[in-house]
Structure 1
Amino acid sequence: MKRVFVGPLLRLVYRPWVRGAGNVPTDGPAIFASNHLAVIDSFFLPLVIDRELVFIGKQEYFTGSGLKGRLTAGFMKGVGTIPVDRGGGKASEAALHTGLRRLGEGKLFGIYPEGTRSPDGRLYRGKTGIARLALESGAPVVPVAMVGTDVAQPVGRRIPKVMRIGIVIGEPLDFSRYQGMENDRFILRSVTDEIMYAIMSLSGQEYVDVYAATQKARIASGHPAAAGDTAAGPAVAPGGRPAPDVQVPVPPQDEGGSSVG
C-alpha cells in the first residue's frame, strides 16, 4: 500500500538519492540502525530499498481525533509504521519485543539508536537497546546515514521543505562473536559504540558523547553545553576513539530524478 500511494509521491517531490543500496541483504532478518534527524527519516529510508522495512511509532500517531488525527494515522499506516505504546516507561521493552518478533519472521526492522531526534544535527550517544536486539536476534546490523532531513524538516516544521533527501547505507555488521553475552553491559556498550562509529563514518556528523534526550533537557533549561559535549574540544568518536576523517555526503551531480548507487 505505501509503495502504491505514498512512495511515488515522496519520490516525485523529493527525488531521494541513495548510496550503498547493494548492502541491503536480499533475504533474512536485518536491523537497520540509522541516525535520526527528523520525523521524515522513517518515511524515506523504507522508500529506497526493495524489501519492506518498518519502524515503530508512538501510539498517539494512530489515535488522534478529527480530520487531522485521521490523516496522520492514515499516513503512518501508509508508510508502514508500527504503533507501540511508549507510556509507563515501557518504550525500550516495547521496541525490543516488536523488533524481535519481526526479525524472528525473517524481516527487516529499523531503529534509531540515539533514542530520539538529534536536537542540533550532531550524532549522539547510542542506547544499548540496539545491541540487545542484535545479540538476542542474531541478525546483522546495517548502519544508515540520513542526509538533509533536518534541513528539510527542522524541529517545529510540520510540512518538509521540498529538497533532495539522501540516504547512505553501509555494509552489514556481524556481532555473532558475542552470541549469548546480551546480559553483559560492557559488551552491550562496546557493540553499541561500534554501530554508532559506523553511522558516524557514513554521515560525517560531529559526535557528542551524551544522550540526545539529555541534551534536549539541557537546551530546554538554557544550558546546552556541559561536560561530555565535544563541541569545544578535540573531535572524538564513539568509544573514545579518534573521529574518522569523513565529510557529510553530498548529492550526486546529476539532477535527473532519484539516484541509486
Structure 2
Amino acid sequence: MSLINTILTQLTTKTVSFFVGNVKGLENLKFNGPRIIIANHSSYMDHFVILYLLKKQNPNQAVYFLTKKEAFEKPFSRWWHLSLNSISVDRTKNAMSSMMVLKDKLITEKAVVVIYPEGTRTPTGNMYFGKNGAESLSYVTGVEMIPIGMHENFDVLPKFSIFPNFKKISVAVGNSIQIPKTSRKEIPAISRSNIQLLSSLAREKLESKSVESIDVKEEMLQAMIDDNQKALRSYPDANHTPLDYHKRVLYLGKTLLARFDSSSSEQNLIFLEIARAYGRLGYLKGIKTLKGRYYMMKTTSALNKASSIAEKSSEWYYIKGHQSLFLGDKKSYLKNLVKANDMVRNNIQYMLALAKAMNLNHEFCSARNILLSILKVDTCTQLDDRRKYEAVVLLMRMDSHFDPSQELVRNEKIIV
C-alpha cells in the first residue's frame, strides 16, 4: 500500500465517518482472505462508506474498486481514483481484461474487490438491474460475495452534485454468498436475485430495467412525479419521509433544468412538480416559520415560471389552490379548484379536492353532490380507488344517515 493511498484512505474514512449512521451486520465484514463486495450505487460517497466499514473491521486489508473508465479521463480524477486503488473498466466493451486484473488481486493479494452491479450511479435514487460480472468472478475464483445495502446515500451526495448534504447513511451488510461450481448456467438468475437482495438491504425501490437501458431524462421526470406522490400518500414501498421525497424532487428538477435540454412542455412539468414539492415542504415545516415562508415564496416563483412557459393548466390551478389552503385562504382554495375542475371533468383527484374546498367554505350541499358524483366515476388506478373510499368517508362524516353499502351497490362501481 503506497503512502498516498494510506493518507487518502485515512483522510476519506475519517471524513465519511460523520455521514455513517446505523450499521447492521457489521460483523459480516470481519473475515480473513479475499472477498467480493457487491453494493447499490447511488452516490459519490459509496466508495468511501464501504472503505470506511472495511477498514474498521480489517485495517490491513487491501481494497480495490471497479470503476468506469470515464472517471480516469481527467488528470485529477485519474490521480484520485488510482490513488484509491480503483481499476478501470470500459462498460461499452468486453470487460474481460478488467476481470482478469480483479481475479489476480483476489487470488494473489487476497484482497477485497468492490463491484457495483448496476454499473453506474442511479440518476433517481431508485435501484436498477445490472450485470453479472461479480457473480461470474465469484464463480471463477471461488471467492465469496458480501452484499452491502446503503440507504439514503443518494440524498447525501447524488449524481451531478458537488457538495454533500449532512445526513446519516444507514448501512445493512448481508451474509456471505457462495456460488456453487455447478451453477454456471444459473449465474444470470443469481445476479437478479442478488440485486433484489441489495434492494431489500438498501430499502430502495427496484425498477424492472437496467440503468444502462433507461432514458435518463425521462426517468428523472417520472421520478419527480412518483416521489411527490409517495410523499403525499402512504405507499407500501415508501422508504423515505415526505420531506426526503420532496427534496429529491427539488434535486431532480434543478438537475434537469441545468443539465438537460427540455421542451417547453417538459419544463412546464418540471416547474409544476417543483412548485408542488416546495408547497408541501412549506406546509410540513410550518407556514409561520422562516423556512416555511421561504418555501412558499419558492412555490409562487415556480408557479410563475410554469405559467410563463405555457398556459395555466388544471394542474397549475390544483397546486395553486393547495398553496392557498396552506396559507389559510379558503376562498382562493375553492376558486382555484373550481377552475381545475372546469378544465378537466371527472378527474377524481380534482373532484375530491373541490369537495373538500366546498366543505371548508360551508357549501355542504354542493360538497355532498360532488362526493356522490365521485362514486359514479370509473377508476383506472389504485390511487383513485383510495380516493373514492376517501369520498365515502367524507360523506359518512357529513351525513350520519348515509349508507355507503347501498350507495356503492347502486353505482356498481365498487364491489362490496
Is TM > 0.5 for Structure 1 vs Structure 2? yes
What residue number does 1:93 align with? 96
Unaligned runs of 5+ in 2: 1-5, 227-235, 242-416
Aligned counterparts of 1:223 and 1:39: Cα–Cα separation in 2? 18
Question: Residues 11-22 of structure 1: matches in 2 within 5 Å?
Answer: 11=17, 13-22=18-27
Write the deviation string for residues 135-159 of structure 1: whole angstroms up to 9, x where unpaired: 1111111111112221111221022
Q: Describe the shift of the 1:153–1:5 C-alpha distance in structure 2 as closer, same or farther (beyond 3 A).
A: closer
Choose which of 99, 102, 107 in structure 2 pairs with 1:104.
107
SS at structure 2 position matched to 1:89:
coil
* CA distance in structure 2 between the aligned counterparts of 1:27 and 1:44, rounded to whole angstroms: 20
Alignment map for 1:138-157 (pairs within 5 Å): 138-157=142-161
1:147–1:249 CA contact under 8 A, matched in 2? no
Which of residues 197, 212, 216 in structure 2 aligns to 1:219? 216
SS in 2 for 1:10: helix
Equivalence for 2:193: 194
Higher helix share: 2
Equivalent residue in structure 2 for 1:54, among 48, 56, 64? 64
Q: Distance in 2 between matches of 1:201 and 1:223?
A: 22
Question: Structure 2 CA distance, aligned partners of 1:87 and 1:126?
Answer: 11
Distance 1:61 1:211, change over 3 A: closer
Give the counterpart letter for 2:50 in structure 1.
L
**CA–CA separation in structure 2 for the residues paired with 1:248 and 1:109:** 29
In structure 2, how many angstroms separate the alpha carbons of the residues matched to 1:25 and 1:101?
Answer: 22
Give the 3-state SS of the residue equivalent to 2:122 in structure 1: coil
1:108 CA displacement: 1.0
Rounded Cα–Cα distance in structure 1 between residues aligned with 2:123 and 2:239: 17
Give the letter for the 1:4 counterpart.
Answer: Q
Q: Is the 8 A contact 1:142 1:171 kept in 2?
A: yes
SS at match of 1:143: strand
Q: Residues 87 and 197 (structure 1 numbering): CA distance in 2 closer, same or farther, change over 3 Å?
A: closer
CA gap 1:151/1:138 in 2 versus in 1, 3 angstroms: same
Q: If you compute each CA radius of gyration, which structure gives the higher value, 1 or 2? A: 2
SS where residue 135 of structure 1 aligns?
helix
Offset from partner CA, 1:71-104 (integer Å, 9 cap, x none): x4454345x23231527624x3244223211211
8 Å contact kept, 2:139–2:179: yes
Three-state SS of the structure 2 residue aligned to 1:5 is helix
The Cα of 1:58 is off from its aligned counterpart by 3.8
Calculate the TM-score normalised by the size of structure 1: 0.72
Q: How does 1:33-44 map to 2 (within 5 A)?
A: 33-44=38-49
CA distance in 1, matches of 2:30, 2:118: 23
* Alignment CA distance shift 1:58-1:169 (3 Å): same
Displaced runs of 4 or more, over 6 A: 221-225
| Unaligned stretches of 5+ residues in structure 1 | 226-230, 232-244, 251-261
Root-mean-square deviation (CA, aligned residues, Å) is 2.9
